Amino acid sequence: MKSVLTIVAVLMLLVGTTRAQDLKKLNLDDASVIGTTIQTDTQVKAEGKGAIKITTQWPTTICLGEVSALNIEGAKLVYKARVKSDLEGTAYLELWAHVGGGPYFSRGLKDVVSQKSDWKTIQTPFFFQKGQKPDKVTLNVVINGKGTLWIDDVVLSREPLK
């Protein structure tokens, strides 16, 4: 009987220590708790009828879109956008190329905006060697900090390798 009680006690300890413990619950009844808002701004724009205005309370990555069926190999793909900022931190463009089942990225870490800046074109390139063809390309903007970023006039272009 003693050994049965010992086994039951050990099993209860094991079950008790492997149970998940909630550390934090996010109440998403109000979208403002996410800390990031994305909206169209028809007043502040580089071209056209409006720009995307991103306001964030902490670092974030926003996917602006994906492009597939690109007939590109042996060339440079350039992702450009016009941006304006009022940030504590920096923002840059990020391109993910999905080639042969693997994701590869290019980050425009040398071409950033920070603090309060007027409209500026920033970019990041991705080089495809002969035989490399992307299944799709994902276009992101990364904000490392907090504040507001406007983004407009996004262009994906092909340039020859030099």
* Spatial distance between the Cα atoms of 115 and 24, rounded to a whole number of angstroms: 32
Give me the pLDDT at residue 35, please: 85
Can you tell me which residue has the tokens 């028809």?
A: 42
Exposed / middle / buried, residue 28 (Cβ in 10 Å: 0-12, 13-18, 19+) = exposed
Q: To 5 degrees, how large is the angle CA 123–CA 49–CA 78?
A: 15
Q: Which residue has the higher pLDDT, 18 or 150?
A: 150
The whole domain housing 81 covers: 34-160
- CATH code for the domain of 143: 2.60.120.260
Question: Is the pTM higher than 0.75?
Answer: yes
Exposure letters 60-96 (e unless 16+ CB within 10 A, then b):
bebebeeeeebebeebebbbbbbbbbebebbbbbbbb
Provide the percentage of residues in the chain whose pLDDT is more than 90.
62
23 in a domain, yes or no? no
58 in a domain, yes or no? yes
Q: Going by C-beta distance under 8 Å and a sequence separation of 6 or more, which residues neighbour residue 134? A: 70, 72, 77, 97, 98, 99, 128
80 in a domain, yes or no? yes
Of 97, 101, 96, 124, the residue nearest 112 (C-alpha): 124
Task: Give per-residue pLDDT as tens, 42-64.
Answer: 999 898 999 999 999 999 999 99
Please give the tally of structural domains in the chain: 1
4 in a domain, yes or no? no
28 in a domain, yes or no? no
Give me the pLDDT at residue 11, please: 60
Strands 75-99 and 134-160: antiparallel
22 in a domain, yes or no? no
Give me the pLDDT at residue 71, please: 82
Task: Give per-residue pLDDT as tens, 69-94.
Answer: 788 888 999 999 999 999 999 999 99
16 in a domain, yes or no? no
Cβ–Cβ under 8 Å, residues 107 and 69: no
